[in-house]
Amino acid sequence: MRLITHWIDGSAAAVAPERKGPVFDPATGNQTAEVAFAEQADVDAAVASAKTAFASWGVSSLTR
């Protein structure tokens, strides 16, 4: 089954495979994937990456 991971700092992040949940297709009710649940370290890494990116994205033009 496909595992949906976190995208942090421009790449797929390693995940703890024992912490995941099902993803269902709402039209059919069939399970289509599993999604990794975030640990505190994952959240901290995502927030740190967002803070770093904010400085440059905050001054980006609309066309970028």
State the DSSP string of 1-64.
Answer: --EE--EETTEEPP--TTSEEEEE-TTT--EEEEEEPPPHHHHHHHHHHHHHHHHHHTT--TT-
Predicted TM-score (pTM) of this structure: 0.70
Instruction: Give me the tens of pLDDT residue by residue for the chain, a chain 64 residues long.
Output: 999 999 999 899 887 778 899 999 999 999 999 999 999 999 999 999 999 988 888 788 888 6
